[in-house]
Homo-oligomer: A and B are copies of this chain.
Amino acid sequence: MASVLPLAGLRETGQSRIWLDTIIKGDCVAALEALPDHSVDAIFADPPYNLQLGGTLHRPDQSVVDAVDDEWDQFASFEVYDAFTRAWLLACRRVLKPTGTLWVIGSYHNIFRVGAILQDLNFWILNDIVWRKTNPMPNFKGRRFQNAHETMIWAAPNAKAKGYTFNYDAMKAANDDVQMRSDWLFPICSGGERLKGEDGKKVHPTQKPEALLARVIMASTKPGDIVLDPFFGSGTTGAVAKRLGRHFVGIEREQAYIDAASERIAAVEPLGKAVLTVMTGKKAEARVAFNVLVETGLVKPGQVLTDARRRWSAIVRADGTVASGGDAGSIHRLGAKVQGLDTCNGWTFWHFDDGKTLRPIDELRSIVRSDLAKMD
C-alpha cells in the first residue's frame, strides 16, 4: 500500500486499477490525465490557497510567524490562479464518476474564486461547509476578526447529477439524532497527529486534521469506494481513507511529501468491517409492495383501513389496491386522493385496528422485512 507509481502508461491499464492505493508523482493535471474516465467515487482537494502575504509577520512577543510561503503557493495573478483552478477542476471531473462528488477546501484567499469557477463549469454545489477551528491562530495585529474557520465546497459534477452518496442517516445518528449541519467544529492538526521531520519541524505547512477528513469520507463515500486527492501533501486523505476501508489515489509533486505520506499510510491499520458498517435508513431497505401483505395474509381482502384519526376509511381488495367511496388505487394514490393532496405515503397514512389501537400498516411491512432478513 501507498507505493509510488511512475506516471507513464497509467491510463492504458484500464480496469486493472494498479493505481489504487498509490501516490502518483507528478503535476496534478498531467497525472490526472493518466487516470481513466469516471473511475473515482469522491475527490477531496486541498489546492494552494494563493495566500497574498506582505512582509514577515511578528507576534506580540516579536517571534516570527512561520507563514505559508512555499513556492507552490505563489501565483502571479488571479488570472493565473483561475486558469490553474479551471484546469485541475476539469481534469478532476473527467476522472469522477457521474455519481461521485467533489470536495474543495480553502480560505477567503481562494475559495471564492474556486466556487465561482465551479459554478461556471456547471458543477452543482450541494453545500458549503464551514470548518470552525477550536484553536485557530490569533490575529496578532488586532486589525481584523480572528480568522477562525475555513470553507469547504461540496459539489456534484453537474446540475442534473443524481444518485450521489450521502450517508444521511449515519450523519444524523452520529449527531444525536438531528441533521448534521453545515458548520463543523474540529481542532487544527497538532500534537502527535502532526507529521514532523527529523529536525522537529512540521513536514507540511497545511496538514489537515484527520477528524475533518473522516467526516468528509464517512458522509460522502461507502466502504470500498475510491477517494482521489489531487494535492496529496502529507497524505491525510490517504491515511483516513485506508483507516475507514476506502481506497485512495494521491497525486503529489514533491518527493519529500510523498515519502512522509507513504510512511504514514503504511502505519495505518484499517478498521474492521463490522465497525465500518454504515447506518442506513428506510431508503436502503428492501422494497415490499403492499400486495405482499395481502398475499401473506397479514392484511386480508375486505379488511378496513383508516387514517390515524378514523377520518377516512378504505377497504382492501384482493389485488392489493384499496378502495374508498368511488375511488380506488394504490395505498399512496388513495391516501393522497382522500386528503386532497398530490402525494401521500400510504404506509404511514393508513392504519389497521389490532383490537386495541390503530397501528400504521408500515408496522406490518416491518414484519415482512424482518422475515426476509432471516432468509439471507
- Could you say which of A116, A177, A302, A315 has the most chain B C-beta atoms within 10 Å of its C-beta? A116
Complex contact A320–B175 (CB within 8 A):
yes
User: Is A186's beta carbon under 8 Å from chain B?
Assistant: yes
Complex contact A153–B108 (CB within 8 A):
yes
Given A301-B271, A319-B218, A323-B274, CB of A174 within 8 Å of CB of B108:
no
Given A145-B181, A275-B302, CB of A289 within 8 Å of CB of B127:
no
Residues of chain A from 268 to 301 with CB closer than 8 A to chain B in the complex: 271-272, 274-279, 281, 287, 289-292, 294-297, 301
Residues of chain A from 317 to 333 with CB closer than 8 A to chain B in the complex: 317-321, 323, 328-333
User: Is A130's beta carbon under 8 Å from chain B?
Assistant: yes
Q: Is the interface of A mostly helix, strand, loop or mixed?
A: mixed
Bits for A151-178, please: 1 = Cβ < 8 Å to B, else 0: 1011000000000001111111111110
Q: How far does the alpha carbon of A167 sit from the alpha carbon of B187 in the complex, in Å?
A: 27
Q: How far does the alpha carbon of A149 sit from the alpha carbon of B219 in the complex, in Å?
A: 19
Complex contact B341–A292 (CB within 8 A):
no
Complex contact B211–A176 (CB within 8 A):
no
Complex contact B179–A145 (CB within 8 A):
yes
> Which B residues lie within 8 Å of A127 (CB)?
108, 144-145, 147
- A143 CB to closest chain B CB (Å) equals 6
Partner of A323, one of B174, B277, B292, B297: B277
Q: How far does the alpha carbon of A343 sit from the alpha carbon of B63 in the complex, in Å?
A: 11
> Which B residues lie within 8 Å of A153 (CB)?
108, 112
> Which B residues lie within 8 Å of A320 (CB)?
170, 173-175, 218
Q: How far does the alpha carbon of A371 sit from the alpha carbon of B272 in the complex, in Å?
A: 30
The copy count of this chain in the complex is: 2
Residues of chain A from 112 to 152 with CB closer than 8 A to chain B in the complex: 112-116, 118-120, 125-130, 132, 134, 136, 138-139, 142-149, 151
User: Is A316's beta carbon under 8 Å from chain B?
Assistant: yes
User: Is A215's beta carbon under 8 Å from chain B?
Assistant: yes
Complex contact B371–A134 (CB within 8 A):
yes
> Which B residues lie within 8 Å of A180 (CB)?
145-146
Partner of A146, one of B62, B134, B182: B182
Q: How far does the alpha carbon of A346 sit from the alpha carbon of B267 in the complex, in Å?
A: 33
Chain B residue with minimal CB distance to A126?
A: B144
Other A-B pairs, 20, CB within 8 Å; known A142-B281, A185-B372: A113-B115, A115-B116, A143-B166, A145-B219, A146-B180, A146-B181, A148-B183, A170-B321, A173-B321, A176-B289, A187-B296, A211-B295, A215-B295, A218-B320, A271-B318, A275-B301, A275-B315, A275-B316, A276-B317, A279-B319
Q: Which A residues form the contact surface with B (CB < 8 A)?
A: 58, 62, 78, 107-109, 111-116, 118-120, 125-130, 132, 134, 136, 138-139, 142-149, 151, 153-154, 166-177, 179-183, 185-187, 211, 214-215, 218-219, 244, 271-272, 274-279, 281, 287, 289-292, 294-297, 301-302, 315-321, 323, 328-333, 341, 343-344, 371-372, 375
